[in-house]
Amino acid sequence: MQKTYTAPLVSIIIPCYNYGQYIKKCIQSAIDQTYENIEVIVVDNGSTDNSLEEINLFSKNKRVKIIKFKENVPPGCKEKSAVGIAIKESSGDYISILYADDWYLPNKIKKQVDLFDSAPSSVGVVYCHGYRYIEENKRLVKWKMQSIRGYVFKDYLLKGDVVIPISPLVKKYCYDIIGVNNSYTGSEYDFLVMSQYVDFDFLDDYLVVMREHRNNDGKNVHSVYRRVQAFHKELLLSNNTKLRVGNLASKRVARDYLSFGLKFITMLDMDNARVAINNSIKIYPLYLLNLKLLTSLILLFIPELISKYILVKFNKLSINYTNDCDW
């Protein structure tokens, strides 16, 4: 007798804090997925704008579950993170995290579930390419990822992030492996940690949209920097990781510190720049041979007015944050 196929349940988790102007489009994109067996868990993280009003418009939809925090829980709070609590409340076989200012294209979940159905059992994460939506000029820009399969942990260390944070569909047991009470839960670092334990696969398709605007969480460079420091200490600089991958982890950490150091220089925050670049050198001294690091040292030790002139001349003076400083 032939077995009946039961479509696995997918939990789409949407954390929201003060994104009232965006959250409706975000939730609607989750509901409008062509893959029907979904639940949408929206967590209002103590918003003080109209976010909760917009979220409550979906309260009668049977596929939508709303969790309300009385007060905001900032990123890095281990036991109380919005994403961590939502994962615990979820019932799905798969988890997909969608930030409140972004959205999915309609076939995102279906195409990823279909790939899981044909992929080896060792695959725990399926990701895809996406778009950046530049709100300032309403421009949609393709965002192509590394397109690699299998064991990608070393690729994370050597080449940087493998996935767009909102693109992966993840088997729920991946969160059982890494836990949901970490300082990085709900961030792109979830997937870096998962890459140590499961294989990755990818769809050569553009299925997600990340909105770039002046209020992006990632624009707060100092807050992001503190979270990255905590993650490095918790995982990449641990003795266990060093034993497994040797200098690769140190090189990744040094590169991250250098990237932040360069960004602080473009913001003329020379004190934090010195600390970040000093950390980069201490962790991986061979980075002294890196041209970007040498350039940063020159800018740090010449008068600030000259540094500012050089940055303006080469159009590098900035008040915005990007994941890497492309010098």
161 and 45: one domain?
A: yes
Long-range contacts of 34-37 (CB under 8 A, 24+ apart): 34/106, 34/107, 34/109, 34/110, 35/7, 35/10, 35/109, 35/110, 35/113, 36/7, 37/7, 37/8, 37/9, 37/10
Are 23 and 158 members of one domain?
yes
pLDDT band at 305 (very low <50, low <70, confident <90, very high): low
Looking at the fold, whether 195 and 273 belong to one and the same domain comes out as: no
Same domain, 177 and 225: no
Q: How many domains is the chain built from?
A: 2
Q: Tokens 């790939």 correspond to what residue?
A: 115
Six-digit token string for 297: 């040292």
In terms of domains, do 24 and 94 share one? yes
Percent of the chain with pLDDT over 70: 85
Residue 321 pLDDT = 35
Whether residue 131 is found in the same domain as residue 100? yes
183 occurs within a structural domain = yes
pLDDT in tens, 226-255: 878 877 777 777 777 766 777 788 888 888
pLDDT, residue 149, reads 92
What confidence score (pLDDT) does residue 146 get? 82
Q: Which helix (H) or strand (E) holds 4?
A: none
Banded pLDDT at 327 (limits 50, 70, 90): very low
Which residues form the domain of 300? 220-313
Q: What is the DSSP string of 157-223?
A: HHH---S-TT--EEETHHHHHH-S-STTTTSTHHHHHHTTTSEEEEEEEEEEEEEE-TT-GGG-HHH
Helix/strand/coil for 326:
coil
User: Does 3 map to a domain?
Assistant: no
Domain membership of residue 320 (yes or no) is no
Of 179, 212, 245, which marks where a domain is finished?
212
Same domain, 276 and 204: no
Q: What is the pLDDT of residues 135-156, one digit of tens each?
A: 888 899 999 988 899 999 888 8
pLDDT exceeds cutoff 90 at 118: yes
Question: Do 191 and 51 have their domain in common?
Answer: yes
Among 212, 240, 255, identify where a domain stops: 212
| Domain end among 195, 212, 229 | 212
**Does residue 240 sit in the same domain as residue 166?**
no
178 and 230 housed in the same domain: no
- The CATH number assigned to the domain holding 104 equals 3.90.550.10
pTM of the full structure: 0.83
pLDDT score recorded for residue 236: 75
Give the residue-averaged pLDDT of 132-136: 90
Domain identity same for 230 and 120: no
Residue 202: closest CA among 173, 164, 176: 164
Number of C-beta neighbours around residue 38 at 10 A: 21
Q: Report CA-CA distances (Å) from 263 to 10, 127, 169, 266, 306.
A: 38, 28, 31, 5, 17
